[in-house]
Amino acid sequence: MADESLHKQFPPYVPKKGEEYMNDKQLEHFRTILDSLKQELMEDIERTVHTMQDEATVFADPNDRASQESDIALELRNRDRERKLIKKIDETLDRIREGEYGYCDSCGVEIGLKRLEARPTATLCIDCKTLEEMRERQVAK
């Protein structure tokens, strides 16, 4: 998927000793990653639309038709997930512009460069995210 090629394209940011957290260089690094990922996702969506239009075939065999409909449904589900990720990327780019990027929405501490490299759209530090997941599991039981 897009994430795999993204990490090869952008080496992790290595801060210099004493470098301020979320300085202009770091923000630009993450902005570039997010813009690239968004562009890649939008191209995938565009490609899917064209492919689905090109492959719109009416099969006489009900099994072939069912298989095609199943493939289309799966593809649309994947594109919907990508559309939601694009929305998250846009929200994250807004956070960068507003100077809120890199800080936990829940407790306000630094999220950390390594976590942001792994998930550039993260809004919670690892501790708050872990607590959130534990609460979700308890509610699900």
pLDDT in tens, 73-109: 888 898 899 999 999 999 999 999 999 999 999 999 9
Pair 132, 117 in one domain: yes
The answer to whether 37 touches 102, Cβ cutoff 8 Å, is no
> Rounded distance, CA 76 to CA 108, Å?
37
Give the predicted TM-score (pTM) of the model: 0.81
Number of independent structural domains in the chain: 2
- In this predicted structure, what is the pLDDT of residue 20? 95
Please, how many CA atoms are within 13 Å of residue 54, restricted to the half-sphere of its CB? 6
| Residue at 81 is within a domain | yes
106 and 135 assigned to the same domain: yes
- The CATH number assigned to the domain holding 83 equals 1.20.120.910
User: Are 43 and 24 part of one and the same domain?
Assistant: yes
Residue 14 inside a domain? The answer is no
Domain holding 52, by residue range, is 1-9+20-101
